[in-house]
């Protein structure tokens, strides 16, 4: 893992992951109702509201949940152009929404 010495424009860390160097944007979850939410959008000049990151800017989102001590490494293509992701702790899940994000496959154990 390396912290860029110079601004790499939207990259927080460069990490060796899956035998290659990748650009990682780190995001922290915030508690929201009975779940946690993380904003994975970016602001762009001239556009209103958060926009999805481009594949040229970020390879992975390193999403951190400090309450549960969980970390996920989520490839940008898995986000399907979303600007927010919601995670519901297993003990609070009552049903699964069809469009729910598949978190478990990206969690670092």
CA–CA dist 50, 19 (Å, integer): 31
What are the backbone angles phi and psi of residue 14, rounded to the nearest 5°?
-110, 125
pLDDT per residue over 35-84, tens digit each?
Answer: 999 999 998 888 888 999 999 999 999 999 999 999 999 999 999 999 99
Instruction: Kindly state the tokens that stand for 36.
Output: 């946690």
What mean pLDDT is predicted for residues 15-21? 90
58 burial via Cβ count (<10 Å: 0-12, 13-18, 19+): buried
Residue 59 DSSP one-character state: S
Q: What is the mean pLDDT of the chain?
A: 89
Per-residue pLDDT, 12: 87
pTM for the full model?
Answer: 0.87
Would strands 13-17 and 51-52 be described as parallel, antiparallel, or unpaired?
unpaired
Name the nearest CA neighbour of 54 among 23, 26, 85: 23
Ordered domains of the chain (ranges, CATH) = 13-106 (3.40.1350.10)
pLDDT of the residue at 7 = 63
């Amino acid at each position: 893992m390396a912290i860029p010495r110079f601004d790499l424009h939207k990259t927080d860390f460069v990490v060796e992951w899956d035998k290659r160097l990748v650009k990682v944007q780190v995001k922290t979850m915030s508690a929201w109702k009975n779940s946690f939410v993380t904003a994975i959008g970016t602001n762009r000049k001239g556009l209103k509201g958060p926009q999805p990151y481009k594949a040229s800017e970020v390879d992975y989102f390193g999403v951190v949940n400090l309450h549960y001590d969980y970390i996920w490494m989520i490839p940008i293509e898995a986000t399907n152009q979303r600007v927010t992701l919601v995670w519901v702790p297993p003990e609070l899940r009552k049903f699964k929404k069809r469009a729910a994000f598949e978190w478990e496959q990206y969690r670092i154990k």
